[in-house]
């Protein structure tokens, strides 16, 4: 057993206390606090664990005993702060030696994505990884999670309306063919989006009867060349950190074409969220709605499958040219995913891809954002508009109060809307002001330069942000 195991044990105890008991817990005397801090620095994890245990009563009966438990948790958290990814971001290069047990856990995380997984919980670095964590008073109430800037104890599954969805963690470094190279300072990232399907002729919808339900296939037209359009946008737009394409415009065979092309043609982009589209694999004869995340060399870093397939109502179906008289939702013709990937990318941050309806999924989206505190949530959607009053902005704004997360939403412009869909990229910053973000900001981007094919880009430190109006959203 090690201090990491002890952190989990004590955290599980402390999270069951009423908030008032944590608030009123008394700090131990200074000499006890120093002794706890010295114990956690031992090279031997088992020795550190044994010494720390001597300070603890397993059945704390007063505020002082609870304060000792919180002090031990705090001391372990301070040790893990020495190997937190934020240290690498702010002070790249050599770091001071750390206890051997801590070095071991740091190496384990690079392989598995977690320091420790036990009893359905993941011990991970607290997010955000490239910027500051939430202030301990951010909830305006006692929050155990917000007390610890370096460690978080997140659940290894989340709930999509009661269905357990596994969380897969991974770490991606900066070097090698499968790495993501470092960029500039956090807060100045350049983002690019390409709608791929730009007008009605670029997207085809086909309705199928499936028992008493109706399912709809969404496909880019054969002559669009989705991979070619995205590659052209990547090359025309120059150097940027992140590129994103919309939902259901990039089937897996186009992803493979794009990957091959990236091997031949150099682009200056650290991370490419290649939209989403039908997977080659099937479940019950249905493909998954799958998003592939690539680096500039075409290496596939991970795939994310949509967990909660969406539907369109009868009025929307008529707008989209579907002719049947079916009275009810037409569901997308895809299988339901069962896993969400949480990817920690060195020097870029913790990333999630939540495809369209998955951003709305309760309580899955709330749990992921609250517990994992991602730096970025990327959301490819298929929707006629992403304006300031739309669902995507409303949902991202609501979630933006739970973490210092940046939300990036991309749609196509092929579906009919009220007037011309001028925008295809929506960015929403944290609700609370941070070192790199003003509060309650959002940004809409379209094809500013009449590019062919269409694309738009902006830098995160661009001044052309708007502020969210709660009444209007």
> 3-state secondary structure string, the chain?
CCHHHHHHHHHHHHCCCCHHHHHCCCCCCHHHHHHHHHHCCCCCHHHHHHHHHCCCCCCCCCHHHHHHHHHHHHHHHHHHHCCCHHHHHHCCCCCCCCCHHHHHHHHHHHHHCCCEEECCEEEEECCCCCCCCCCCCCCCCCCCHHHCCCEEEEECEEEECCEEEEEEEEEECCCCCCCCCCCCCCCCCEEEECCCCCCHHHEEEEEEEECCEEEEEEEECCCCCHHHHHHHHHHHCCCEEEEECCCCCCCHHHHHHHHHHHHHCCCCEEEEECCCEEEEEEECCEEEEEEEEECCCCCEEEEEECCCCCEECHHHHHHCCCCCCCCCCEEECCECCCEEEEEEECCCEEEEECCHHHHCCCEHHHHHHHHHCCCEEEEECCCCCCCCCCHHHHHHHHHCCCCCCEEEEECCCCCCECECCCEEEEEECCCCCCCCCCCCEEEEEECCCCCCCCCEEEECCCCCCEECCCCCC
**Taking a C-beta distance cutoff of 8 angstroms, is the pair 191, 243 a contact?**
yes
**Taking a C-beta distance cutoff of 8 angstroms, is the pair 364, 377 a contact?**
no
Residues 336 and 359 in one domain: yes
Cα–Cα distance measured from residue 34 to residue 54, given in angstroms and rounded to the nearest whole number: 14
Q: Which residues touch 354 (CB under 8 Å, ≥6 apart)?
A: 340, 361, 365, 368, 377, 378, 379
The domain boundary, picked from 132, 155, 178, lies at 155
State percent of the chain over pLDDT 70.
96
**Is 162 a member of any domain?**
no
**Is 451 a member of any domain?**
yes
**Is 165 a member of any domain?**
no
pLDDT at 254: 97
The predicted model gives 232-245 an average pLDDT of: 97
Residue 270 pLDDT more than 50? yes
- List, for residues 328-355, the tens digit of each pLDDT value: 899 999 999 999 999 999 999 999 999 9
CA neighbor of 286 nearest in space, from 197, 208, 357? 208
pLDDT at 31: 95
Residues 114 and 177 in one domain: no
Cα–Cα distance measured from residue 80 to residue 40, given in angstroms and rounded to the nearest whole number: 10
- Give first-to-last CA distance, the chain, whole Å: 50
Residues 191 and 139 in one domain: no
pLDDT at 184: 85
Residue 192 pLDDT more than 70? yes
Cα–Cα distance measured from residue 52 to residue 37, given in angstroms and rounded to the nearest whole number: 9
Q: Which residues touch 244 (CB under 8 Å, ≥6 apart)?
A: 191, 192, 193, 272, 273, 275, 378, 380, 408, 410, 425
Pairing of strands 240-244, 213-220: unpaired
Cα–Cα distance measured from residue 252 to residue 341, given in angstroms and rounded to the nearest whole number: 18
Residue 239 pLDDT more than 80? yes
Residues 377 and 255 in one domain: yes
Can the peptide bond before residue 74 be classed as cis, meaning omega within 30 degrees of 0? no
| CATH number where 304 lies | 3.60.110.10
Residues 211 and 327 in one domain: yes
Residues 52 and 75 in one domain: yes
Cα–Cα distance measured from residue 53 to residue 234, given in angstroms and rounded to the nearest whole number: 55
Residue 131 pLDDT more than 70? yes
pTM of the full structure: 0.95
| Token pair in block for residue 468 | 């969210």
Residues 311 and 439 in one domain: yes
Residues 275 and 410 in one domain: yes
Residue 93 pLDDT more than 60? no
**Taking a C-beta distance cutoff of 8 angstroms, is the pair 126, 151 a contact?**
yes
- List, for residues 386-434, the tens digit of each pLDDT value: 888 899 999 999 999 999 999 999 999 998 765 446 899 999 999 988 8
Residue bearing the bigger pLDDT, 134 or 242: 242
For the chain, what is the domain count?
Answer: 2
pLDDT at 90: 54
Q: What integer best gives the mean pLDDT of the chain?
A: 93
The domain boundary, picked from 123, 155, 187, lies at 155
Residues 149 and 30 in one domain: yes
The predicted model gives 12-36 an average pLDDT of: 95
**Is 396 a member of any domain?**
yes
**Taking a C-beta distance cutoff of 8 angstroms, is the pair 116, 105 a contact?**
yes
**Is 160 a member of any domain?**
no
CA angle 207, 213, 215 (to 5 degrees): 30
> How many other C-beta atoms are found inside a 10 Å radius of the C-beta of residue 31?
8
pLDDT at 132: 83
pLDDT at 58: 65
Cα–Cα distance measured from residue 258 to residue 194, given in angstroms and rounded to the nearest whole number: 14
pLDDT at 14: 96
pLDDT at 420: 46
**Is 142 a member of any domain?**
yes
Cα–Cα distance measured from residue 414 to residue 75, given in angstroms and rounded to the nearest whole number: 55
**Is 472 a member of any domain?**
no
Residues 239 and 373 in one domain: yes
Cα–Cα distance measured from residue 468 to residue 390, given in angstroms and rounded to the nearest whole number: 12
Cα–Cα distance measured from residue 285 to residue 333, given in angstroms and rounded to the nearest whole number: 10
Residues 352 and 427 in one domain: yes
CA angle 42, 99, 55 (to 5 degrees): 35
> In which residue are the tokens 């150099």 written?
266
pLDDT at 91: 53
Q: Which residues touch 176 (CB under 8 Å, ≥6 apart)?
A: none
**Is 161 a member of any domain?**
no
The domain boundary, picked from 100, 122, 155, lies at 155
- List, for residues 298-323, the tens digit of each pLDDT value: 999 999 999 999 999 888 888 888 87
pLDDT at 279: 98
Residues 461 and 332 in one domain: yes
**Taking a C-beta distance cutoff of 8 angstroms, is the pair 296, 268 a contact?**
yes
Cα–Cα distance measured from residue 400 to residue 431, given in angstroms and rounded to the nearest whole number: 5
The predicted model gives 79-101 an average pLDDT of: 82
| Residue range of the domain that includes 103 | 3-155
- Residue 176, burial from CB neighbour count under 10 angstroms (0-12, 13-18, 19+): exposed
């Amino acid at each position: 057993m090690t201090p990491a195991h002890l952190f989990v044990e004590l955290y599980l105890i402390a999270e069951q206390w009423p908030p008032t008991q944590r608030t009123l817990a008394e700090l131990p005397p200074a000499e006890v606090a120093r002794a706890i801090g010295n114990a956690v620095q031992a090279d031997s994890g088992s020795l550190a664990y044994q010494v720390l245990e001597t300070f603890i009563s397993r059945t704390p009966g007063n505020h002082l005993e609870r304060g000792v438990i919180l002090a031990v948790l705090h001391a372990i958290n301070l040790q893990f702060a020495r190997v937190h990814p934020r240290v690498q971001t702010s002070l790249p290069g050599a770091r001071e030696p750390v206890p051997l047990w801590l070095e071991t856990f740091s190496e384990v995380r690079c392989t598995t994505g977690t320091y420790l997984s036990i009893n359905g919980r993941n011990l991970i670095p607290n997010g955000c990884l490239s910027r500051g964590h939430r202030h301990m008073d951010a909830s305006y109430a006692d929050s155990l999670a917000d007390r610890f800037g370096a460690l978080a104890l997140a659940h290894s599954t989340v709930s999509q309306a009661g269905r357990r969805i596994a969380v897969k963690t991974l770490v991606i470094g900066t070097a090698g063919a499968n790495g993501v190279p470092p960029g500039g300072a956090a807060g100045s990232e350049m983002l690019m989006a390409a709608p791929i399907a730009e007008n009605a002729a670029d997207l085809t919808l086909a309705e199928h009867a499936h028992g008493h339900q109706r399912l709809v296939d969404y496909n880019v037209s054969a002559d669009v060349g989705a991979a070619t359009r995205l590659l052209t946008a990547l090359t025309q737009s120059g150097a940027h950190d992140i590129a994103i394409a919309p939902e259901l415009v990039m089937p897996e065979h186009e992803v493979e074409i794009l990957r091959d092309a990236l091997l031949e043609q150099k682009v200056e982009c650290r991370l490419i969220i290649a939209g989403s589209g039908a997977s080659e694999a099937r479940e019950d004869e249905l493909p998954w709605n799958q998003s592939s995340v690539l680096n500039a060399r075409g290496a596939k870093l991970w795939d994310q499958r949509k967990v909660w397939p969406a539907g369109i109502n009868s009025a929307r179906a008529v707008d989209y040219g579907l002719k049947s008289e079916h009275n009810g939702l037409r569901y997308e013709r895809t299988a339901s995913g069962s896993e969400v990937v949480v990817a920690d990318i060195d020097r870029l941050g913790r990333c999630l891809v939540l495809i369209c309806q998955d951003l709305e999924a309760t309580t899955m989206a709330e749990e992921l954002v609250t517990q994992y505190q991602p730096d970025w949530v990327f959301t490819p959607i298929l929707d006629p508009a992403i304006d300031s009053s739309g669902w995507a902005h409303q949902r991202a704004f609501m979630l933006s109060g739970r973490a210092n997360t940046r939300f990036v939403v991309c749609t196509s412009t092929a579906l009919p809307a009220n007037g011309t869909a001028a925008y295809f990229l929506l960015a929403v910053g944290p609700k609370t002001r941070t070192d790199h973000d003003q509060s309650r900001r959002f940004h809409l981007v379209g094809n500013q330069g009449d590019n062919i094919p269409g694309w738009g880009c902006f830098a995160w430190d661009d001044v052309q942000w708007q502020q969210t109006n709660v009444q209007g959203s």
